């Protein structure tokens, strides 16, 4: 009888076993309160991320890039847009652009000769109207399906051009990419709202100012805790400041 009880205990499955898929996984702590809405202040908001990258033994990278005076810069290849491939060998890289309308996201891709998965392009393809806003759920579910197809096809470099304002909006992209064994990197356009508004007024498709300010209030900088392995901060060049 005792022998049978011992055998039953040995057959029991631990809640932290391979059969549950939880081996070695850390329990997630409840999320702390969300930080205050970001009003771009250049590198001050990223000091913690810089320190985290400095102490990560090369596993996390933090870079700063200054927008050029003119977008007429010779394009680089798609694979060179974010620098060298990481030393670790994931299946590839997914790069998320993060920033307000008018912050320079689309220009950043054009300068590098990259054609990203774009919510604006998809609205044009689906509805013949880049300003169509009634089907946001359909637009982004289709955009995620397109990224998934690229990951299934093992495409090494993948770029997503959308505002991606909050960690909640970025979470699905990160979860999908890492689930397929891809590294996820961020390009954050840390551009003051006043600069974005000025550029927005000169665009053919103008976003209302009250909408822009609401978006600015939602904007949160990316962090390594979200799952990014590399963060590039793109900022505007100030008068008297040398380009970095």
What values do phi and psi take at 90, rounded to 5?
-75, 175
In this predicted structure, which of 1-10, 20-29, 103-112 has the lowest mean pLDDT? 20-29
Is pLDDT above 50 for 12? no
**CA–CA separation, 128 and 67 (whole Å):** 31
- What CATH number corresponds to the domain at position 203? 3.40.50.300
pLDDT in tens, 92-104: 999 999 999 999 9
Domain count, the chain: 1
pLDDT in tens, 155-175: 999 999 999 999 999 999 999
DSSP 155-217: -SEEEEES---SHHHHHHHHHHHHHTT-EEEEEEE---HHHHHHHHHTSSSPPPHHHHHHHHH
Say if 163 falls within a structural domain: yes
Predicted local confidence at residue 131, as pLDDT: 79
Say if 101 falls within a structural domain: yes
Q: What six digits make up the tokens of 159?
A: 């770029």
The residue whose two tokens read 């913690």 is 48
Is pLDDT above 50 for 233? yes
Cβ-Cβ contacts under 8 Å for 96 (sequence gap 6 or more): 160, 162, 164, 170, 173, 174, 184, 185, 186, 187, 222
Say if 30 falls within a structural domain: no
Q: Does residue 113 or residue 65 have the better pLDDT?
A: 113
- Confidence bin at 7 (pLDDT 50/70/90): low
Say if 150 falls within a structural domain: yes
DSSP 82-116: T-SPPSS--S-EEEEEE--TTSSHHHHHHHTT---
Q: What predicted TM-score, i.e. pTM, was given to this entire model? A: 0.66
The residue whose two tokens read 């393809």 is 125
Say if 31 falls within a structural domain: no
In this predicted structure, which of 110-124, 157-171, 186-200 has the lowest mean pLDDT? 110-124
- Confidence bin at 243 (pLDDT 50/70/90): very low
What domain range is 97 assigned to? 37-68+92-235
Instruction: Calculate the average pLDDT of the chain.
Output: 78
Say if 178 falls within a structural domain: yes
Taken in order 110, 113, 114, 120, is the CA torsion positive or negative? positive
Say if 79 falls within a structural domain: no
Say if 210 falls within a structural domain: yes
């Amino acid at each position: 009888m005792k022998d049978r009880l011992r055998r039953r205990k040995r057959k029991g499955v631990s809640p932290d076993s391979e059969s549950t898929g939880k081996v070695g996984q850390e329990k997630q702590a409840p999320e702390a309160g969300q930080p205050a809405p970001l009003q771009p202040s250049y590198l001050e908001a990223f000091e913690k991320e810089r320190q985290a990258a400095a102490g990560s033994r090369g596993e996390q990278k933090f870079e700063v890039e200054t927008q050029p005076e003119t977008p007429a810069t010779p394009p680089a290849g798609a694979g060179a847009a974010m620098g060298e491939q990481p030393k670790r060998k994931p299946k590839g890289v997914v790069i998320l652009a993060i920033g307000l309308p008018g912050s320079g996201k689309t220009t950043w891709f054009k300068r590098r000769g990259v054609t990203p998965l774009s919510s604006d392009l998809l609205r044009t393809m689906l509805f013949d109207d880049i300003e169509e806003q009634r089907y946001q759920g359909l637009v982004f579910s289709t955009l995620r399906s397109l990224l998934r197809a690229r990951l299934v096809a093992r495409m090494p470099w993948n770029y997503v051009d959308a505002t991606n304002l909050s960690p909640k909006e970025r979470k699905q992209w990160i979860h999908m990419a890492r689930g397929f064994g891809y590294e996820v990197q961020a390009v954050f356009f840390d551009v003051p709202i006043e600069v974005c508004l000025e550029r927005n007024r000169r665009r053919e498709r103008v976003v209302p100012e009250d909408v822009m300010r609401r978006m600015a209030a939602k904007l949160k900088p990316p962090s390594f805790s979200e799952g990014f392995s590399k963060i590039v901060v793109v900022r505007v060049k100030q008068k008297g400041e040398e380009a970095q």
